Amino acid sequence: MDAVVTLRLFAQARESAGTRRVDIDNRAVGDTVGDILDEAVHRFGQPFASVLAGSKVWLNGAPADRETAVSQGDELAVLPPVSGG
């Protein structure tokens, strides 16, 4: 079975990446939230990096920081700030 972390993207993160979801092999990129996010920036470029800078990141439904460990089957969500009126 693949060692995959699913990265789910919402709102501006989804728009800047051009996808709502991507699977990243954490064996290839590293075993922390920061490693997965760095790979996403590598794949999606500066527009995504700009959105990511102001976003919250959750791992399996709980807030996470860059040092939080990830494992096969985890789900990482990027939640940009919500605006509205």
- Residues 3-20: pLDDT tens digits? 799 999 999 999 999 999
How confident is the model at residue 85, as a pLDDT?
A: 52
For the domain made up of 18-79, the CATH class stated in words is alpha beta
Q: What is the mean pLDDT of residues 50-67?
A: 97
**How far, in Å, CA of 51 to CA of 53, rounded?**
5
How confident is the model at residue 3, as a pLDDT?
A: 75
Sorted by where each begins, the domain ranges of the chain are: 18-79
Q: What is the mean pLDDT of residues 52-75?
A: 97
Instruction: Identify the burial level of 81 via C-beta atoms within 10 angstroms of its C-beta, where 0-12 means exposed, 13-18 middle and 19 or more buried.
Output: exposed
Residue 14 three-state SS: helix
How confident is the model at residue 12, as a pLDDT?
A: 96
Instruction: Identify the burial level of 57 via C-beta atoms within 10 angstroms of its C-beta, where 0-12 means exposed, 13-18 middle and 19 or more buried.
Output: buried
- What's the predicted TM-score (pTM) here? 0.92
- Residues 28-45: pLDDT tens digits? 999 999 999 999 999 999
